[in-house]
Structure 1
Amino acid sequence: MTESESVVYRVVPKCACSTIGQIMYYSDHGNFFDGDIHDAKTGIHKWAHDESKPLIERNVAAHQSYAFTCVRNPYTRILSSFFDKICGVQRNGKYYRGNLVPLLIQKYGIEVGDPESGFEFDQIRSFRRFLLFARDTIRWRRPMEPDIHWSAMSGHISTFIVNGGRYDNIFWTEKFNEGMQQVLDGIETKHPVDLAQIPRFNESEGHGPKRAHPVEDYFDDLSMHIVYEIYKKDFRIFRYDFENPANKLPIGEIDLDEVHAKLG
């Protein structure tokens, strides 16, 4: 939530959350947070901050401010999680979650490449093995609890509803400017935001291998089946095209009443 309480945003990992956080910060302060917005301790209210919690709780329960969130195609989201969280070296110079990558190499035979060799490895084979791991964490919570970056968007989004919140807008990452503009049109900001001038804050870029193939090449029939098993609700409620991994764009409009009924 912005400090001015102009707007409330339910963060969904891997769905433009860095950019949205920076836009909210900018709308209050007229400048961007210097660094990764996820590290900001001041200038913006977060659920993780003890002093922010009661303020957010009160605001959401009374629906005092415009509330929104943002979603992304499940195929590109899980692919992005793989390249960022599994193959990429994180901001602290280490692999994500310490021993996670060695565990995956050992138990699932995943390769992640090496910066020394220019990240040469069979991306498609490794990704499909990662998909099995993601499915195991979500279905059986083994060998670990599911991670926020690959657990279903509907799960993230439902907690807000179950705890008494109501969304005014849910838009697609794939139509970011259009959706974010609707949000900005619906609120009053201390500083005007020109979306055409806003940089994209992709905090995960540049520290891992580049995706070497088109999205659809990573998903054979079995992978699509696994993706559907994990993200069935995400495809249905947020209107993404399960049949065609090459189509990033939604195939219908999001019905907010349906979202609240099914996720609440």
Structure 2
Amino acid sequence: MTESESVVYRVVPKCACSTIGQIMYYSDHGEFFDGDIHDATSGMHKWAIADSQPKIKANVKTRTSYAFTCVRNPYTRILSSFFDKICGIQRNGKRYRGNLVPLLIQKYGIEVGGEDGKEDFDQIRSFRRFLLFARDTIRWRRPMEPDIHWSAVSGHVSTFIVNGGRYNKIFWTEAFNDGMQEVLNHIDTPHAIDLNNIPRFNESEGHGPKRAHPVEDYFDDLSMHLIYEIYKRDFELFKYDFENPGNKMPVGEIDLDEVHAKLGD
């Protein structure tokens, strides 16, 4: 939530959250946060900051401010998580979650492009093995709890509803400017935002190897079955095309009433 309480945003990992955070920061302060917005400990309210929690809770309960979130195609989102979090070196210079990658190499036989993630490896084979691991964490919570970067978007979105909030807008990462502009049209900010001149703050960019193939090449029949098992609600609620992994664009309009009804129990 902005300090001015102009807007409330439910963060969903791997869904343009860095760019949205920086836009919110700029709208209050007239400048971008110097660094990764996820590292900011002042200048905006965050649930992870103890002093912010009462303010966010009060605002959400009373639905005082315009509230929104942003979602993404499950196929491209989990691919992005694989290249960034599993194959990539993080901004602290280390592997994500310490022993996670060695565990995946040992238990699932994946490759990640060597020590620095820059060596050639069979991306498709390794990704499909990672998908088995992601399914195991989500379905059976082993060998560990599911990670926020590949747990379902609908799960992230639902906590806001369950705790008394109501979204005024849910938009797609794939139509970012249109969706973000609609949010900005509905709120008053201390500083105006020109979306055409806002850089994209992709904090995961460059962490890992580049994707070497089209999206659809990574998903065979079994992979698609696993994806549907994990992300069925995401496809249905946010209107993405399950049948065609190569089509990242939505195929229908998001029905906010349906989202609140199905995620609010």
* Corresponding residue of 2:178: 178
RMSD across aligned positions (CA): 0.8
* Aligned counterparts of 1:15 and 1:116: Cα–Cα separation in 2: 25
User: For this pair of structures, how many residues does the alignment match?
Assistant: 264
Look up the SS of the partner of 1:57 in the other structure: helix
Q: Within the alignment, does 1:226 sit opposite 2:226 as a pair?
A: yes
What percent identity do the matched residue pairs reach?
A: 82
CA shift for structure 1 position 207: 2.0
Counterpart of 1:15 in structure 2: which amino acid? C
* Aligned counterparts of 1:89 and 1:118: Cα–Cα separation in 2: 10
Q: Within the alignment, does 1:211 sit opposite 2:211 as a pair?
A: yes
Larger deviation, residues 24-33 vs 110-119: 110-119
* Corresponding residue of 1:120: 120
Q: What residue ranges of structure 2 are gaps of 5+ in the alignment?
A: none
* Corresponding residue of 1:158: 158
* Aligned counterparts of 1:211 and 1:109: Cα–Cα separation in 2: 19
Q: What residue ranges of structure 1 are gaps of 5+ in the alignment?
A: none
* Corresponding residue of 2:30: 30
* Corresponding residue of 1:243: 243
Q: Deviations over 1:6-62 (max 9, x none)?
A: 000000000000000000000000000000000000001000100000000000000
CA shift for structure 1 position 208: 1.1
Contact 2:87 2:208 in 1 (8 A): yes
Contact 2:33 2:40 in 1 (8 A): yes
Contact 1:28 1:191 in 2 (8 A): yes
* Corresponding residue of 1:139: 139
Q: Within the alignment, does 1:63 sit opposite 2:69 as a pair?
A: no
Q: Within the alignment, does 1:103 sit opposite 2:118 as a pair?
A: no
Detail structure 1 runs of 4+ shifted over 4 Å in the superposition: none
Contact 1:115 1:208 in 2 (8 A): no
Given the two structures, how large is their TM-score scaled by the length of structure 1?
A: 0.99
Look up the SS of the partner of 2:12 in the other structure: coil
Residues 100 and 188 (structure 1), Cα distance of their counterparts in 2 relative to 1, 3 Å cut: same
* Corresponding residue of 1:149: 149
Look up the SS of the partner of 1:94 in the other structure: coil
Counterpart of 1:79 in structure 2: which amino acid? L
Counterpart of 1:239 in structure 2: which amino acid? K
Residues 114 and 177 (structure 1), Cα distance of their counterparts in 2 relative to 1, 3 Å cut: same
